[in-house]
Amino acid sequence: MSIVFDSAEVLRALSGGVLIGLAAVLLLVGSGRIAGISGHFSALLQGQGGISLWFLAGLFASPWLVRLFTPLTLGEALTDARWLPLLGAGLLVGMGTQLGSGCTSGHGVCGLANLSLRSLVAVLVFMSVAILVVALGGGLSA
């Protein structure tokens, strides 16, 4: 193994993380809700609007807002993805986050900030499994 370390990338990661943390605080204090993306997405699929709709509308508008200030480079890695594995991975993410009541935001950010044991366990499980999948060479590219 080797370690790739880029201090500019680390600074962007940290700044982005702080923004995400502030967003979680804003949604909790302003709207009384947890900033878990999969939960709000699921609520929307069940026809519930309200806070979930507004929160996801903001998320959807964010690339357009960010584009006003800086050029965006997004998801190039997806362009050579094979379709069937792409759909399979999406299906697994949808099933898993619904069954496990949360994703990287709900368990990973809000749950850990709430010192929830359940969220810590969820994070350890999905991180370990994802690391294992990558180590075993699983991926979407041809």
> By CB under 8 A, is residue 83 in contact with another protein?
yes
Distance (Å, whole) CA 61 – CA 71: 15
Among 47, 48, 71, 87, contact with another protein (rule: CB under 8 A): 87
Instruction: List binders of another protein among 89-118 (CB under 8 A).
Output: 89-101, 103-105, 107-118
Specify the residue, 6 or 142, whose C-beta has the smaller distance to another protein. Answer: 6
Q: How far is the CB of 29 from another protein (least distance, A)?
A: 7
String of contacts with another protein for each residue 39-78, x by CB under 8 A: --xx--xx---xxx-xxxxxxxxxxxxx-----xxxxxxx
Buried b (16+ CB within 10 A) or exposed e, 94-116: eebbeebbbbbbbbbbbbeeeee
Residue 81 per-residue DSSP state = B
Phi then psi for 47, rounded to 5 degrees? 85, 10
